[in-house]
Amino acid sequence: MTEGPRRLAVIGAGPAGLAACLAAAEHGVRVTLIDAAPSVGGQFYRRPASGLGARRPHVLHHHRRAWQRLGRGLAAHLEAGTVEQLTDHHVWTVERTGTTGAARPEFTVHALVGPLQERSVAVRADAVLLATGGYEKVLPFPGWTLPGVVTAGGAQAMLKGGLVVPGRRVVVAGSGPLLLPVATGLAAAGAEVAALVESLDPGRLLRGAGALAAEPGKIAEGVSYAARLLRHRVPFVPRHTVVEAHGEERLEAVTVAALGPEGRVRPGTGRRITCDALAVGHGMVPHTDLAEALGCRADATKVHVDDEQRTDVPAVWAAGETTGIGGVVLSLAEGHLAGRSVAARLRGLEPDPRPAARAVRIRARARSFAAALDAVYAPPAHWVEQVTDETVVCRCEEVTAGRVREAVTGLGAGDVRTVKLLTRAGMGWCQGRMCEPAVAGLAGCEQTPARRLLARPVPLGVLAEAGSEDDRSPGTGAIDRPPETGAADRPPETGAAGRTRGAGTADRTPGTGAADPTREADTAP
């Protein structure tokens, strides 16, 4: 009996998902590439919305040549019909629908469609690859909910996706490498960056120099950011933290203060900086919701994978920042290895190690670099002391730090779940994605995987229909549009609730090598 080509659902079309999609498709797998965003590219390859008519969109584009290669590869596969692209599709859960213990497992991926998200479609697949990236961690401080305070990544997204800056005079603050492209990007776009406030002690960078030096390209990137900060006269303020944001109707100023060696604010060092926007971030957290719902093992807050990027759930792979925060090069390498592994394993074979050897080396180096960075960058150890009882911690449910503290000291809560039950912190729209690190810090407990049943709120009507025959028609009613293959700078996009599907047949497999991270040499910024 001949069986049709195996089907892979890739969830997330950022660097990891794109690399995985292309590697799998090039080896004969039929891929459905699904993303919640209106176009592919994820966080790193975010581009201005086409309706904005940006005249020089490449100015804001990182690693453009790598992006162009990915785009060409994807366009060729869409054309050949080996890849189907579903943008504006937000996956809310993945179900294992095949018979338990069957040799060929089957999954149903459920996604809410379009901006209104009132309708769900289902995609069936023999394997699933989770490439859902990460999201930002923001720790609260008095005034952080004022209009004018945005996350660092949010400021970056406004700039790269919407061509707007969050204010005229901006302070960029927090901790982590993301602050550098944010500060330099805002300055280049014409905002006055009043200060880049980083809680890191640069001496720690020197202490981790050995591991960091193993990635000379990253050091060069760091030097180039330093040069750009100098060129734009952005004052760099290390070993400092924002202790308060001030304003009546909206942000008017922030107070920053020096940190002592223990990570405590030094009394009397506060200074006020006038600004109308604050872009603040304290690092990133892997997106693990779908993996948790599928029962995949997690290590701390990241999805556990083996050398082939397989999770411990059969036929489920994970790649990119969902397996740990590590940057775009690591995401591309992991995606590529995952895609190759899927293609081999779905045919019952071991993946050939030889063509993947370089990607394996890139992954190893990038992981060591990420671990070294992780060890040096951290929010101030005693940030909790700056959070007053009146400070709102959970914005969705308007829960203050005082109520969290009371739940711990007065009512005996010893973990985040109990705090949630006693205060409603984390029960709102974002389901704790924003406030969980803060609640854990205030409660004095570890942040553990959240174990959310659904990856996002779902209308009851959709839940009731899930599993019915009507539900099983991927892309029903979505806009069919031919892929835009002409402009190398504009890989295929779709409109709202977009579905891009090639017209060809599955046996045409364009061997573009587009996602091969061993070709990353020409991706320097």
Ligand X SMILES: Cc1cc2nc3c(=O)[nH]c(=O)nc-3n(C[C@H](O)[C@H](O)[C@H](O)COP(=O)(O)OP(=O)(O)OC[C@H]3O[C@@H](n4cnc5c(N)ncnc54)[C@H](O)[C@@H]3O)c2cc1C
| Residue 110 contacts residue 36 (beta carbons within 8 Å) | no
> One symbol per residue from 389 to 428: x for binding ligand X (CB under 6 A), - otherwise; what is it?
----------------------------------------
Name, in order, each residue with C-beta under 8 angstroms of 206's C-beta and a sequence gap of 6 or more: none
Question: Which of 54, 157, 421, 463 is in the footprint of ligand X by CB under 6 A?
Answer: 157
Integer angstrom CA distances of residue 237 from 151, 199, 225: 18, 8, 15
Residues in the interface with ligand X (CB under 6 A) total 36
| Residue 89 contacts residue 516 (beta carbons within 8 Å) | no
Question: Which of 27, 30, 61, 287 is in the footprint of ligand X by CB under 6 A?
Answer: 287
d(CA 296, CA 290): 9
Q: Of 393, 399, 183, whose CA–CA distance to 281 is shortest?
A: 183
| Residue 125 contacts residue 8 (beta carbons within 8 Å) | yes
| Residue 86 contacts residue 475 (beta carbons within 8 Å) | yes
> One symbol per residue from 178 to 207: x for binding ligand X (CB under 6 A), - otherwise; what is it?
x--x--------------------------
Residues 289-318 that bind ligand X (CB under 6 A): none
Q: Tell me whether strands 240-246 and 253-258 are parallel, antiparallel or unpaired.
A: antiparallel
Question: Which of 148, 327, 492, 502 is in the footprint of ligand X by CB under 6 A?
Answer: 327
| Residue 316 contacts residue 128 (beta carbons within 8 Å) | yes
> One symbol per residue from 7 to 26: x for binding ligand X (CB under 6 A), - otherwise; what is it?
----xxxxxxx---------
Residues 24-63 that bind ligand X (CB under 6 A): 34-37, 42-44, 62
Confirm or reject binding of residue 339 to ligand X (CB under 6 A).
no
Confirm or reject binding of residue 132 to ligand X (CB under 6 A).
yes
> Which one of the spans 65-73, 128-136, 235-243, 403-411 is the region binding ligand X (CB under 6 A)?
128-136
Instruction: Tell me whether residue 14 or residue 428 sits nearer to ligand X (CB atom).
Output: 14
Integer angstrom CA distances of residue 341 from 20, 178, 288, 360, 490: 9, 31, 21, 12, 29
Instruction: Please give the helix or strand (H or E) that residue 330 lies within, else none.
Output: helix 328-345
Residue/partner pairs of 264-271 with CB below 8 Å, 24 or more apart: 264/380, 264/381, 264/382, 264/385, 265/241, 265/380, 265/382, 265/385, 265/386, 270/243
Confirm or reject binding of residue 516 to ligand X (CB under 6 A).
no
Q: Of 294, 260, 386, whose CA–CA distance to 98 is shortest?
A: 294
Please name the amino acid found at residue 158.
Answer: M
Instruction: Please state the closest distance from residue 109 (CB atom) to ligand X, in A.
Output: 9
Instruction: Please state the closest distance from residue 13 (CB atom) to ligand X, in A.
Output: 5
Work out the angle at residue 152's Cα, subtended by the Cα atoms of residues 228 and 494, and round it to the nearest 5 degrees.
100
Instruction: Tell me whether residue 171 or residue 419 sits nearer to ligand X (CB atom).
Output: 171
Confirm or reject binding of residue 331 to ligand X (CB under 6 A).
yes
| Residue 375 contacts residue 208 (beta carbons within 8 Å) | yes
Instruction: Please state the closest distance from residue 167 (CB atom) to ligand X, in A.
Output: 18
Instruction: Please state the closest distance from residue 168 (CB atom) to ligand X, in A.
Output: 21
Instruction: Tell me whether residue 122 or residue 257 sits nearer to ligand X (CB atom).
Output: 122
Instruction: Tell me whether residue 331 or residue 400 sits nearer to ligand X (CB atom).
Output: 331
Confirm or reject binding of residue 153 to ligand X (CB under 6 A).
yes
Residues 449-468 that bind ligand X (CB under 6 A): 455
Q: Of 242, 246, 250, 245, whose CA–CA distance to 270 is shortest?
A: 242
Instruction: Tell me whether residue 17 or residue 432 sits nearer to ligand X (CB atom).
Output: 17
Residues 82-101 that bind ligand X (CB under 6 A): 90-91
Instruction: Tell me whether residue 6 or residue 90 sits nearer to ligand X (CB atom).
Output: 90
Instruction: Please state the closest distance from residue 331 (CB atom) to ligand X, in A.
Output: 4
Q: Of 131, 120, 124, 165, whose CA–CA distance to 332 is shortest?
A: 131
Question: What number of residues does the chain have?
Answer: 525
Instruction: Tell me whether residue 13 or residue 194 sits nearer to ligand X (CB atom).
Output: 13
Q: Of 160, 194, 159, 152, whose CA–CA distance to 176 is shortest?
A: 152
Instruction: Please state the closest distance from residue 114 (CB atom) to ligand X, in A.
Output: 13
Instruction: Please state the closest distance from residue 157 (CB atom) to ligand X, in A.
Output: 5
Instruction: Please state the closest distance from residue 385 (CB atom) to ligand X, in A.
Output: 28
Instruction: Please state the closest distance from residue 272 (CB atom) to ligand X, in A.
Output: 28
> Which one of the spans 125-133, 233-241, 295-303, 394-402 is the region binding ligand X (CB under 6 A)?
125-133
Residue 274 DSSP SS3: strand
Residues 243-282 that bind ligand X (CB under 6 A): none
Q: Which residue has the tokens 């839940």?
A: 463
Contact footprint for ligand X (CB under 6 A): 11-17, 34-37, 42-44, 62, 90-91, 131-136, 153, 156-157, 178, 181, 284, 287, 320-321, 327-328, 331, 455
